[in-house]
Amino acid sequence: MRRVLCLLSLAVAAAALAPATASAQSAVTCPATFQVLHNDRIGALQLPAGAYQITATGLSCAEASRRFTQFLNDWDGNLPSPWRVVAARSQFVRGTTGTNFTVRRVTTPATAGACPGTFAIFEPVTAAGLRIGLGHWALSVAGGLSCTTAFQVFAQTADTNLVPAGWTVDPATTTFRRGGQSFTATNQGNAPSGIGRSTGTRCTATFRVQNNDRIGSLRLPRGNYLITLLPGAGLTCPIASDLFAAFLRHPDGKLPRPWRLNAQTATFTRGAGSSIGFQVEPARNAR
């Protein structure tokens, strides 16, 4: 069962999905970096917040980036078969096929300049008069702001339709400011596919229910589950995954307020009549 974390504690910003591919025997260092926004772990592999370089063997950079996103939801290290994590090498291995990818934390600009990687937006967002459209968004920081913080602020804005407290944004230049620190976001185009902001969509990663379980009258047989976010803004896939884990600790169905469960549709909503929530279903039933 997954740990329970504070809201927005596992938001992840996606790196640009480069079209580079790797043969079964050759390793390719992906040109884009992947942003981990908060200190995290996958089993024994510790992943401090920051930018990561991915080196892929036997799979494309896009697939490796998608898998890394998925595995960040598996904090206990129990990855979907036949994948396993080798913490000593910061490596993820698929069975005995030779297919694998490694991740390595790299230094990001801390004072000024363009940040490595981009953040993928699937659905248009409007916050404080700023419209964040589809595409890969590149960030450039100034005033001593780290790229990790910039990605965190941008991700939170995209996921909640709200600019975080203490920050202002100039819609004309897409520049976020807090005191003397700032960053500017620029849309690089190329509508993304696979990972990124996912409000209102089916999450790409599955959630593993380890044992036959229940939440109130909702029966949850052991297995993998798909999570689909409702159209209301305010949730990301990692947050919904953590909430699902938390709700599994309430077999009596008495969820923390204001959450409610419709067992007939396996839907969790944040209050009566709310459009903020998510639905779960066994992966084998997906259409």
Residue range 71-122, pLDDT digits in tens: 877 777 888 889 999 999 999 999 988 899 999 987 654 445 787 767 767 6
DSSP per residue, 135-167: EEEEEEEETT--HHHHHHHHHHHHHHSSPPTT-
Kindly tell me the burial class for residue 161, based on how many C-beta atoms sit within 10 Å of its own C-beta (0-12, 13-18, 19 or more): middle
Query: How many C-beta atoms surround the C-beta of residue 82 within 10 A?
Result: 11
Residues 99, 239: Cα–Cα separation, whole Å: 30
Banded model confidence at residue 234, pLDDT cuts 50, 70, 90: low
- What's the mean pLDDT when you consider all of the chain? 77
Confidence at residue 138, expressed as pLDDT on a 0 to 100 scale: 85
Q: What mean pLDDT comes out for the span 10-36?
A: 54
Residue 197 has pLDDT above 60, yes or no: no
pLDDT at 190: 58
pLDDT at residue 233 in the model: 54
Average pLDDT over residues 198-216: 77
- Mean pLDDT along residues 22-35: 68
pLDDT confidence of residue 107: 67
Instruction: Identify residue 67 by its one-letter amino acid code.
Output: R
Distance of CA 163 to the CA centre of its chain: 19
Q: Could you tell me the pLDDT band of residue 14, with boundaries at 50, 70 and 90?
A: very low
Task: Encode pLDDT of 94-103 as tens digits.
Answer: 998 889 999 9
Provide φ and ψ at 170, rounded to 5°.
-100, 105
pLDDT more than 90, % of the chain: 18
**Residue of 188, 225, 234 lying closest to 207 (CA atoms):** 225
263 or 122: whose pLDDT is higher? 263
Q: How confident is the model at residue 173 (pLDDT cuts 50, 70, 90)?
A: very high
Pick the more confident residue, 61 or 234.
61
* Per-residue model confidence as pLDDT tens digits over 38-74: 778 898 999 887 778 899 998 888 788 888 877 877 7
pLDDT value at residue 82? 92
Please check the confidence at residue 186 and state whether its pLDDT lies above 80: yes
pLDDT at 22: 39
Bridge partners of 214, per DSSP, are 219
User: What span, in angstroms and rounded, lies between the C-alpha atoms of 150 and 141?
Assistant: 7
* Longest CA–CA separation in the chain, Å: 54
pLDDT number for residue 118: 73
Does pLDDT of 7 surpass 50? Answer: no
